[in-house]
Amino acid sequence: MKITFVSHSAKLGGAEISLCELVAGLKRLGAAEATVILPHGGPLAERLEGAGATVVRLSNYGWATIRPTRLPVLVMAALDVASVLRLSVRFARHRPDLVVTNSLINPSGALAARMVGVRHLWLVNEFGDLDHDYRFLLGLPRTLAAVGRLSFAILACSRAVGDRMKVYVPPEKVAFAYYAIAMEPGRSPAQASSGGRSLRLLLLGKKHEGKGQLEAVRALALVRRAGVDARLRLVGDVEPGFEGRLDDLCRELGVADAVESVGYSNDPAGEIDAADIVLMCSRAEGFGRVTVEAMRRVRPVVGARAGATTELLEASGGGVLYPPGDPSALADRIVELRDDPRKALGLAVAGSRWAADHCTPDGYVNAFLALARGRQAASGPCFPPTTRSSQRRSRRP
């Protein structure tokens, strides 16, 4: 197959890294020739080329923005029309067997594929509004309905995201498969750490309101107030203006010396290995690569009962959940695992085994190929069968 992927970004976020792993898997199996269209240059290009993809830079725009745009809607629509025309010319010239869009943000590839009569599949990696605060020019219901109309199939990254799509899209079009997490298994905490030191907490991800760093800092203050010598490491790029809020809160709560905030890391495994407990405080994670990466490295996770974090931790037994937005409950879960190392190790080992079975490169690639070839898989750990109850189309978002 000749497959053209359209990415809304050339950065190295979770959806982009998963795209690299999918391209590498297709190459390894000899299943497809992959071309990836990026809107601009960036670190994603080099990684995709290393995975065996042909990378093309072609400006394209989207129908969503994180903040209310200053550009009039008509100007944004004009940019979208221009990008659709550019992509349709390319598709008409090269005639891919399939076009795949890798985010809800950008409809250009889907619209261009429709114009030239090429099949289109949509990879939905996020909720959109709940996790990233996207504002869609058409509004959320019309946007998600359009995703369904423009695609013969939709592959969501979790059951939670898939169920959200089914509110607006015919359920038979929606499948889900957990991402491949191409990370080597780690060592258990008992082997990796030594006694007589601070409890090391890690929150790995872009620093902004929705990821829960402020909540983690408040929980840390409560943990330390309970007499536990704990430290928190925050790793990831920061949204403009958010670092100041973090610093102010740390000073206000008296934990500035116990919080270390650093930028993006190219070594998530190393960051996780240096931690005793990994936190997932996102208010609505569409998948949660960090959750599964922590499992792969045999670390227990304390996660917010929201989005896909709930299904990952309940299915795997790899951690404990707390009510989102409740730093007191988060602190209680942290102290609970600190006081019961046997339980913490049991969670970590269970999560490691589950991730090894359910988040494999071959599992994700085969699930994708089943859809791409028009054969929806009936079963499999990374592509579970859809239950009758989950197929009911709720009218509630």
Report whether pLDDT(210) > 90: no
Confidence of residue 196 (pLDDT cuts 50, 70, 90): low
Region for residue 302 given its phi and psi (left: phi exceeds 0; alpha: psi -120 to 50; beta: otherwise) = beta
Question: How many Å apart are CA 101 and CA 83, to the nearest integer?
Answer: 14
Residue 108 is predicted with a pLDDT of: 92
Sign of the alpha-carbon torsion through 323, 155, 10, 16: positive
pLDDT per residue over 264-307, tens digit each? 898 999 999 999 999 999 989 999 999 999 999 999 999 999 99
Q: What is the DSSP letter of 274?
A: T
Name the nearest CA neighbour of 324 among 199, 216, 208, 206. 216
Torsion of CA 149, 154, 157, 159, to 10 degrees: 90
Confidence of residue 380 (pLDDT cuts 50, 70, 90): very low
Name the nearest CA neighbour of 239 among 204, 263, 215. 263
**pLDDT > 70 fraction of the chain, expressed in percent and rounded:** 89
Strand, helix or coil for residue 94: helix
Task: Note whether 230 and 302 are within 8 A (CB).
Answer: no
Domains annotated for the chain, with CATH where assigned, are: 2-180+360-389 (3.40.50.2000), 189-358 (3.40.50.2000)
Residue 99 is predicted with a pLDDT of: 97
**pLDDT > 90 fraction of the chain, expressed in percent and rounded:** 72
Tell me the average pLDDT of the chain.
Answer: 88
Q: Which residues, 6+ apart, have CB-to-CB distance to 160 below 8 Å? A: 127, 286, 307, 308, 310, 311
The residue type found at 56 is V
Question: How many Å apart are CA 120 and CA 100, to the nearest integer?
Answer: 6
pLDDT per residue over 70-124, tens digit each? 566 666 667 778 889 999 999 999 999 999 999 998 899 999 999 999 999 999 9
Confidence of residue 189 (pLDDT cuts 50, 70, 90): low
Q: Which residues, 6+ apart, have CB-to-CB distance to 259 below 8 Å? A: 217, 220, 231, 232, 233, 234, 246, 250
Report whether pLDDT(376) > 70: no
Measure the CA angle with vertex 161, ends 157 and 164; round to 5°. Answer: 155
Question: How many Å apart are CA 369 and CA 371, to the nearest integer?
Answer: 5
Pair of tokens at residue 125: 């990696």
Question: How many Å apart are CA 131 and CA 112, to the nearest integer?
Answer: 27
List, as one string, the DSSP characters of 18-65.
HHHHHHHHHHHHT--EEEEEESS-SHHHHHHHHTT-EEEE-----SEE
Strand, helix or coil for residue 95: coil
Task: Note whether 220 and 305 are within 8 A (CB).
Answer: no
> Backbone phi, then psi, for 25, in 5-degree steps?
-65, -40
- pTM, two decimal places: 0.87
Pair of tokens at residue 350: 């269970």
